[in-house]
Amino acid sequence: MPVKTMTTIAMDWIALGFQQQQLTLSAAETIMRRSMMMGMGGMSAVETTSMWFEKPAAFAKGYEQAALAMARGKPSAQIMTEFLRPLAASAASNAKRLRS
């Protein structure tokens, strides 16, 4: 495994922090928009089903990517980044779709 500089290690942790913030904001927006849809009685059956089935798929993909990163000897910040990547992508995709 190549030796990493302190700057590279710090950047890994900073990237993880930004990814966590993106996930938090996208998830909050999605929850707000879906709650509004539910409150107004406008949530479709497709949206309700999607809400339930997208999470296990994203978590499974994240676990898989994290396991591969761990097997390759990546540092812990990169392992967590790999785990959160599908979750953040799913939340961002939902927030963007629900905006329209």
Amino acid at 37: M
Residues 82, 62: contact at Cβ < 8 Å?
A: yes
Cα distances (angstroms) measured from residue 59 to each of 52, 53, 54, 99: 12, 11, 9, 24
Please report, for the chain, the start and end positions of each structural domain, with discontinuous segments joined by +.
63-95
Per-residue pLDDT tens listing for the chain (100 residues): 566 788 888 999 999 999 999 999 999 999 999 999 999 999 999 999 998 999 999 999 999 999 999 999 999 999 999 999 999 999 999 999 999 8
Q: Residues 91, 27: contact at Cβ < 8 Å?
A: yes
pTM (2 decimals)? 0.85
